[in-house]
Amino acid sequence: MSKKIKEIVLANPRGFCAGVDRAIDIVEKSLEKYDEPVFVRHQVVHNKRVVESLEKKGVKFVKEVNEIPDNAVAIFSAHGVSSEVENEAKSRDFMYFDATCPLVTKVHLEVQKHARKGRDIVLIGHKGHPEVVGTLGRHPKDSGTNIFLIETKEDIEKLKIKSDSLAYVTQTTLSVDETTELIEVLKSRFPNIIGPSADDICYATQNRQDAVKQLSLECEVVLVIGSKTSSNSNRLKELAEKCGTKSFLIDDKTDIKIDELKFATSVGITAGASAPEDIVQEVISYLVPLGYNHVRNLSENKESMTFKLPRELSD
Ligand code: SF4
C-alpha cells in the first residue's frame, strides 16, 4: 500500500506588512543612531518575538509617556496614538519618532475631516485595541460632533444618533467579510451615512485573509503564526475556522500540539502581519522530521507596498 505524502502548504502573502517593516526599522535605526535605551510606548507591533528581540537590543517598552525620562529618544507604536498622547509628548523635553502606520494615520485624518464638516462618526473596531483607542482619541472634542464605537450588529441597533450628517470609519485589521456585513446594516439603518470608497481595512489584512481562505480549502489544519494580542492574526484563525478548517494560533513551534496534527496530511501555515518569517521557517524545520517533508507555496503573490522612514532616520 502506498504511503500518503504529508505536506506543508505556505500561504502567500504572509507575515510582515509595510507598516510593521517601517515600525521595526524606526526602532532599529534609532538604536543605531542614539544612546540606549530607546523608549517605545506600547508594543511597537503585537508580536512576542519581535518585542523580546528589541528588548535585548536595548529597547525599553513603557505604557505611558510619563514613564519616558527627559532627554530620551522615544517611539510611538505602529497602532497610533491619541492627540492627547501626542500633545503630552510635545510638551515634554524628549525627542520622539512616530511609527504609526501611514494607513492608520489615514483613518485619523478621515475622523478629523468628518468632524470638521460637522458629521457624527461611527467607528467599527474592537474596544480596547490600541489602534481603536488612538483613533477615538483623534476625534476633536471641541468639534461639537460625536464618535461612536461599534463592534456588532446589536451595537448598531442600540445607537442613538440624532444628526443626519453621519460618516463611518473602520479599524484597519478587521475581518473583511464581517465588516462588509456591518457596513450594510449601518447603511440600512442610516441611509445617508457616508464612508471611504470601500472601507479602511488595509491591503495587508485583505491580502492575508484572501490567502488564508485559499489555504483553508487545501489543508486539513491551518497554523497561524502570530501573538494572541495581534488583531489581524486572530482574524486569520477565525477565518480558517469559518472555512471549516481546524486552526491554531501559535507564537512559535513550542505552541504546536503534535496530537492535534496527527491525522492531518496537509498542514497550512500563514503568519499575521506582525509575525517574522524566521518563525515560519522554524515551524517548517520542526514539522519536516514529523514526516511533512514536502513543502509547497500556495501562490507567488508578492506585495510591493513600502513606507518611507522619518527623514532623520533615512540613510
Ligand atoms: S496591518 Fe495594515 S494598518 Fe497595520 S501596520 Fe500593517 S499595513 Fe499598516
Q: How far is the CA of 77 from the centre of ligand 1 (A)?
A: 11
Topology match between the domains 18-101 and 103-189: no
Structural domain 7-15+203-297, CATH architecture: 3-Layer(aba) Sandwich (3.40)
Asked if residue 125 lies in contact with residue 235, where contact means CB atoms within 8 angstroms, the answer is no
Closest-CA residue, ligand 1 atom 8, reads: 19
How buried is residue 171: exposed, middle or buried, by Cβ count under 10 Å (0-12/13-18/19+)? buried
Residue whose CA is closest, atom 2 of ligand 1? 202
pLDDT tens by residue, 220-259 = 999 999 999 999 999 999 999 999 999 999 999 999 998 9
Atom of ligand 1 nearest to the CA of 17: 6
| Coil/strand/helix, residue 154 | helix
274 CA distance to ligand 1 centroid (A)? 9
**Predicted TM-score of the model (pTM):** 0.95
Q: Domain ranges for the chain, please list them.
A: 7-15+203-297, 18-101, 103-189
Q: How far is the CA of 17 from the centre of ligand 1 (A)?
A: 6
Reply yes or no on whether the pLDDT at 300 is more than 80: no
Fold assignment, 103-189 = Cobalt-precorrin-4 Transmethylase; domain 1 (3.40.1010)
DSSP state of 128: T
Residues catalogued as catalytic: 131
Q: Which atom of ligand 1 lies closest to the CA of 19?
A: 5
pLDDT, one tens digit per residue, over 3-32 is: 678 999 999 999 999 999 999 999 999 999
Q: What is the pLDDT of residue 5?
A: 85
Residue 30 Cα to ligand 1 middle (Å): 21
Q: Which pLDDT score is estimated for 3?
A: 65
pLDDT tens for each residue of 35-75 = 889 999 999 999 999 999 999 999 999 999 999 999 999 99
Mean of per-residue pLDDT scores for the chain: 95
CATH architecture of 18-101: 3-Layer(aba) Sandwich (3.40)
Question: 3-class SS at 290?
Answer: helix
Distance CA 118, CA 195 (A): 14
Q: In what order do the strands lie in the sheet with 120-124?
A: 147-150, 120-124, 166-170
With a 6 A CB cut-off, is 225 part of the ligand 1 pocket? no
Collapsed DSSP state (helix, strand, coil) of residue 249: strand
Pick the closest to residue 307 from 30, 111, 25 (CA basis).
25
* Closest CA to ligand 1's atom 5: 19
78 lines ligand 1 (CB under 6 A): yes
For the CA of 305, the nearest atom of ligand 1: 7
Q: Atom 6 (ligand 1): residue with closest C-alpha? A: 19
Is the CB of 204 inside a 6 Å radius of any atom of ligand 1? yes
